[in-house]
Structure 1
Amino acid sequence: MARKKKKAPFSPAVMLMIALVILLLGAFGIQVPNNIQELVGLRQEQAQTHTPKKPSNSANPGPKELGAASFTNDELKNSAKGWIDYHPLDSLGRATGADALLKPDMVNTGTSANQDIRPPGFISGEANHSRGHLIGRQMGGTGDDARNLTTLYQNPVNTPFMTKYENQIRKALDTGETIRYRVTPIYEGNELLCKQINMEAKGLDRNSSINFNVTILNEE
């Protein structure tokens, strides 16, 4: 049976005080025992390891994972060829969603966002606005169809939050998997920018690690 790691007996606040004392004593040439220095260093390393990285100056809480994808058995039917279905624009011209059956041969067949397309709510010159793909370019999503573009905050929504899950799918595709995928922007009333965006994906291979349902607030 694996041995449990021994926890340091001091709280983070106490450890910080000890670290400051060590620095102060060092300034006066007083040697601090190595075991105490190692203990402080260990706790600092653990704190860095378990602290999630968030973009600087971001108030966005990050992705909220809702468990497994919610596709029905009928929606998970496989086919020889992959496909992408862009849902119709709504009465305000907003993208409403996209479904896809992703195959390895679709990787990197998409296109960058067309600069002539301005999704509802997109402000030219707004440094943090992006024409966000629903189905990403690296998975075959087009940037020339307004049905696949919605206004997102580039940082942290488009990247790194959405990119994190898109990269998981890309990795699975690179190993030959087939992935059922759906992305849905969710709006509040007549707001032009979506309030949040929902991403669902499930690998059709028996041993696939892809099975998630996540929602990301469209906020800075």
Structure 2
Amino acid sequence: MAKRKKKQKVTPAQTIITILTAILIVLCGGRATGQFSNINLGYSQNVKTSQNTPNKELASSVLTDNVKKQLGNSIVYNGHGAFIINNNKNDLNAHISSAPYAVNEVDELGRAHIGNAWLNKTSRQYKSREKTGNGRTSWKPKGFHQLTNLPGEYKHAYDRGHLLGYALVGGVRGFNASESNEANIATQTAWANEARSKNSTGQNYYEGLVRKALDQNKQVRYRVTDVYDGNNVIPSGAHLEAKSSDGSLEFNVFVPNVQTNIKINYETGYATKN
């Protein structure tokens, strides 16, 4: 006659493991596979950024036929608030034998229009505006009608938006890098000017790519064109192009002058809260 096997004792730890396993099976839809993709572990990827980054509909709202004509045929939303133009390729000549320079052009209506620059590490400015005499100002560009106490990450509507950024060209001798240079400053939304992450690509994000290249002793040809729709005082966005002489950096993008918490009248600059 076969002997009976002794009944094994179940320890408290084993009981807890059994209960947890059962819970996991239920949560995973009856499959104890060891994959936890269906379980909310409390992680959220860039929730704050996604709430404040213009979606495709808002970003595209400034792409009138006139604006698209100025940008060209290839305009593709990048998924992070801006647009890729011409597959990120541009016609800039990055093989120049000259000292760094920075120049501006206004259009026939006196609006800040184009910023052209040839940059290297000596053009970089690491000092604050206050230390170089280019501090804050009360001067306002065309259409600058501020709104404050807005909901979301960007609490105000507008910045004094530069074409050629202070950190890039502040070291160029003779260039007016102040915030009151009417040829280099236009009314720009806080998002379009300040956003700088891979998931929220405002102008500061692309300027960061140029800053990094200059810090690595690269030479960069850089152009910014504010794009206007007709006689509007507020630009529809900023067309940014860059190319390094060694070919390691090149982009061609359009950052729309929009913001999720406001609606802008581009003819006058007046905005209302969403």
Task: Tell whether the structures are fold-level matches, with TM greater than 0.5.
Answer: yes
Q: 1:99 to 1:44 in 2, by over 3 A?
A: farther
Check 1:38–1:217 CA distance in 2 against 1; reply closer, same or farther (3 A cut).
farther
Matched to 1:128, the amino acid is A
* 1:198–1:44 Cα change, 3 Å: farther
Amino acid paired to 1:120: K
CA distance in 2, matches of 1:158, 1:55: 17
Q: Does 1:32 align with 2:49?
A: no
Partner of 2:193: 158
Change (3 A) 1:49 1:129: closer
Q: Secondary structure at the match of 1:32?
A: helix
Aligned CA distance change for structure 1 residues 52 and 116 (closer, same or farther; 3 Å): closer
Q: How does 1:131-170 map to 2 (within 5 A)?
A: 131-141=160-170, 142-143=177-178, 144-155=180-191, 157-160=192-195, 161-170=202-211
What secondary structure does 2:161 align onto? strand
Q: 244, 255, 258: which is aligned to 1:216?
A: 255
Q: Does 2:100 align with 1:82?
A: yes
Question: Is the Cα–Cα contact under 8 Å of residues 104 and 114 in structure 2 kept in the other structure?
Answer: yes
Alignment RMSD (CA, Å): 3.3
In structure 1, what is the equivalent of residue 265 of structure 2? none
1:100 to 105, 112, 117: 117
Cα distance in structure 2, aligned partners of 1:43 and 1:176? 47
Residue 36 and residue 95 in structure 1: after superposition, are their counterparts in 2 closer, same or farther (change >3 A)? farther
Residues 117, 146 of structure 1: 8 Å contact kept: no
Shift in Å at residue 51 of structure 1?
Answer: 8.9
Percent identity of paired positions between Structure 1 and Structure 2: 23
Q: Deviations over 1:84-118 (max 9, x none)?
A: 01113532x31011100011111116855752331
Alpha-carbon distance in structure 2 between the residues aligned to 1:172 and 1:124: 34
Matches within 5 A, 1:59-78: 59=55, 60-61=58-59, 62-66=81-85, 67-72=87-92, 75-78=93-96
Distance in 2, Cα, partners of 1:106 & 1:172: 12
* 1:36 to 1:65, Cα distance in 2 relative to 1, 3 A: farther
Q: Distance in 2 between matches of 1:212 and 1:193?
A: 24
Q: Does 1:175 align with 2:216?
A: yes
Whole-angstrom CA distance in 2 between matches of 1:104 and 1:42: 49
Structure 2: give runs of 5+ residues left out of the alignment. 1-18, 60-80, 149-155, 171-176, 196-201, 260-274
Q: In structure 1, what is the equivalent of residue 62 of structure 2?
A: none
Contact persistence 1:65–1:213 (CA under 8 A): yes
TM-score by length of 2: 0.59
Flag structure 1 segments of 5+ consecutive residues without an equivalent: 1-24
